[in-house]
Structure 1
Amino acid sequence: MNSDTVTAISATVVAMGSLWVSISQTRAAQLHNRQSVRPLLQLRHTMAYDDHRAGLRIVNAGLGPAIVTSTTVLLDGERIGQWDLDTRNRISDPLPIRPKAYTLRPGAVVLAGQSIFLFHLEHFQESEHRWFWELVTRRMIVEVIYESLYGGESFKAVPPVT
């Protein structure tokens, strides 16, 4: 092997190494960009003593907006539909007091830092409204499937098990 061949092979190896580093850096930058706008939806059972509201709250604790793709509601283990007006009415109709609700349809956006009561009672008194707290913490499960602005992730938020 002469020196020209060794130089050419060395240059090719260096170029291939540079290409690999460049591709790796591009992938790392793309992953970082996706993570920097990733939403993180959490469903929380909230009993707010300062304003006397209690219920199920959705919070976006992530850095980017969450786009809802679907919801599912289970009541006593039975699937009863999406978290929409009809499902809210089916749950609320037999109750002694109609809770307030905020529905989530496919395409709804929960902004970064936003916190919304999905289902709550105002003027909540623990002694008088124990039935409602039992409903939102033990009997009713709302599952939210969502994605970031990039799309296609199918993240899932469910309330904590109590």
Structure 2
Amino acid sequence: MDANTGIAVCATVIAVGSLWISLVQTKSAREHNRQSVRPLLQIRMVKGYNDDIARLEVINAGLGPAIVTKTVVTFDGEVVGQWDLQTYRRVTESFPFQPKVLTLVEGAALLVGQKSYLLHVDGFSEDEHRWFWELISRRMLIEVRYESLYGGENFAVRSSPL
């Protein structure tokens, strides 16, 4: 092997190594960019301590907006539909009054830091509104499927019964 062949082989190895490093860095940068806008939804049940509101709330604690792709509501162990006005009315029709509501339908966006009450009762009293706390803590389960702006992740969050 002469010197020119050796130099050509070394140059080829260096070029292939550089290409590999470039591809790894590009993949890493893409993953970083996806994570930098990843939403993180949480659903919490809260009885007011500083206020008199009892609520089931959804919060986007992530770094990017959450796009709702699907919601599923289970009531007394039976799937009743997505979290829309029809399902809300079906779930609350037998209660003394209907709590205030925010529905989540396909395509709805929850912005970074946004906190929304899915259901809430103002002027909450343990005795008068026990039925409401029973509803959000034991009888009703809401699952929200969502994704980031990139799409395709199929993230999910569920309210958890006590």
TM-score range, shorter chain: over 0.9
Indicate the SS of the match to 2:94: coil
TM-score with structure 1 setting the length = 0.97
Aligned counterparts of 1:159 and 1:8: Cα–Cα separation in 2:
63
Output the TM-score relative to the length of structure 2.
Answer: 0.97
Aligned twin of 1:78: 78
AA of the residue aligned to 1:13? V
Where do 1:1-162 residues align within 5 Å? Answer: 1-162=1-162
Moved over 6 A (4+): none
Structure-2 separation of matches of 1:140 and 1:80: 10
- 1:9 Cα deviation from its structure 2 partner: 0.8
- Indicate conservation of the 8 Å contact 2:141/2:160, yes or no: no
Percent identity over the alignment is: 55
Q: CA deviation at 1:75?
A: 0.4
Q: Per-residue deviation at 1:26?
A: 0.6
Q: Which runs of 5 or more residues in structure 1 are unaligned?
A: none
Report SS of the residue matched to 1:57.
strand
**What amino acid does structure 2 have at the position aligned with 1:48?**
G
C-alpha displacement of 1:144: 0.4
RMSD: 0.9
